[in-house]
Amino acid sequence: MDPFVTLTAPAVPLDIANIDTDQLLPARFLKKPRSAGYGNFLLHDERKPGFPLDDPAYAGARVLVTDRNFGCGSSREGAVYALVDGGFRCVVAPSFGDIFAANAAKNGLLTITLPEETVAELRRQLQETPGAAVTVDLPAQTLTGPDGQPRPFAIDPFKKECLIEGLDDVALTLRYQDAIDAFDRADEEARPWLMPGT
């Protein structure tokens, strides 16, 4: 996965709450391999005339600024592939579906959670100045909007480290192999009934 450190890019506002993963990647595309071009499936059925993602004023957007509960619904990681393959590296919202946010981090897509009013204000600025850029500084944990004002955001330190270094989780976990083996040995004693069909 591509490391994420800083990013300055145009941002597109989307005034819709509860954008779920069925909308982000409609179910009929789930059987496609990644090589089919998931970016073309992003919000496929929402893209009616006037949809901000297709507005030339927001061309080249790499940041999405939207409303609460973004990415709720199914666990399909394809929803994240659709955003990443569609050019996005960061989504800003008042809240996210938990599974979506976890999937995003594994694929180098930064999710920034900010208070509802702050996000609404950012969307308003982006609507006033279409195509304006925002700057994300992950090490400093700030998001600077079109008004030039840096806003701090919180992020799980583990997530931050994985994003900045582009870490592969499994490689990290294998460093804990002794602890895993010890857990399994103790567990055999503690829960002899655990094995299916015993």
Partner 1 sequence: MTQHPRSLFDKVWDAHLVATRPDGQALLAIDRHFLHEGSFHAFGMIDHAKRPVRRPELTFAVADHYVPSHSRATPIADPEIANMVTMLEANAGRHGLRHFGLHDPAQGIVHVLAPEQGLTLPGLTIVCGDSHTSTHGAFGALAFGIGATEVSHVLATQTLWQRRPRTMRVTIDGVLGAHVTAKDLILAVIGFIGADGAAGHVIEYAGSAIRALSMEGRLTVCNMSIEAGARAGMIAPDDTTFSWIEGRNYAPKGELFDRAVAQWRTLPSDPDADFDREVSLDAAVIAPSVTWGTSPETAVPVTGAVPDPGAESDPVRAGQMRKMLDYMGLIPGTRLEDVGIDRVFIGSCTNARLEDLRAAAAVLRGRRAMVPGLVVPGSVPVRRQAEAEGLDRVFTDAGLEWGEPGCSMCVGINGDLVPAGERCASTTNRNFPGRQGPNARTHLMSPAMAAAAAVTGKLTDVRKLGAS
Reduced to 3 states (helix: H, G, I; strand: E, B; else coil), residue 161 is: helix
Nearest Cα residue to 104 out of 14, 12, 21, 8: 21
List the interface residues with partner 1, window 45-64 (CB under 8 A): 45-46
By the rule CB under 8 A, 135 interacts with partner 1: no
**61 Cβ contact list (under 8 Å, min separation 6):** 9, 10, 11, 12, 53, 87, 88
Nearest Cα residue to 116 out of 15, 7, 10, 23: 15
List the interface residues with partner 1, window 155-194 (CB under 8 A): 156-158, 161, 169-170, 172-174, 176, 179-180, 183-184, 187, 191-194
Smallest gap from residue 35 Cβ to partner 1 (A): 11
By the rule CB under 8 A, 147 interacts with partner 1: no
Distances, alpha carbon 132 to alpha carbons 9, 90, 93, in Å:
8, 15, 18
> Do the beta carbons of residue 168 and residue 181 sit within 8 Å?
no
Q: How far apart are CA 11 and CA 107, in angstroms?
A: 19
Task: Number of residues interacting with partner 1: please give it, by CB under 8 A.
Answer: 59
Smallest gap from residue 63 Cβ to partner 1 (A): 20
C-alpha triplet 63, 49, 47: angle, nearest 5°:
50
DSSP run (H or E) holding 121: helix 116-128
**Smaller CB separation from partner 1, 56 or 195:** 195
Of the candidate spans 15-23, 51-59, 130-138, 139-147, the one that interacts with partner 1 by CB under 8 A turns out to be 15-23
Name which position in 7, 17, 155, 164 contacts partner 1 (CB under 8 A): 17
By the rule CB under 8 A, 89 interacts with partner 1: no
Contacts with partner 1, residue ranges (CB under 8 A): 15-18, 20, 22-23, 26-28, 30-31, 34, 45-46, 67-69, 72-78, 80, 95-99, 102-103, 106-107, 120, 156-158, 161, 169-170, 172-174, 176, 179-180, 183-184, 187, 191-198
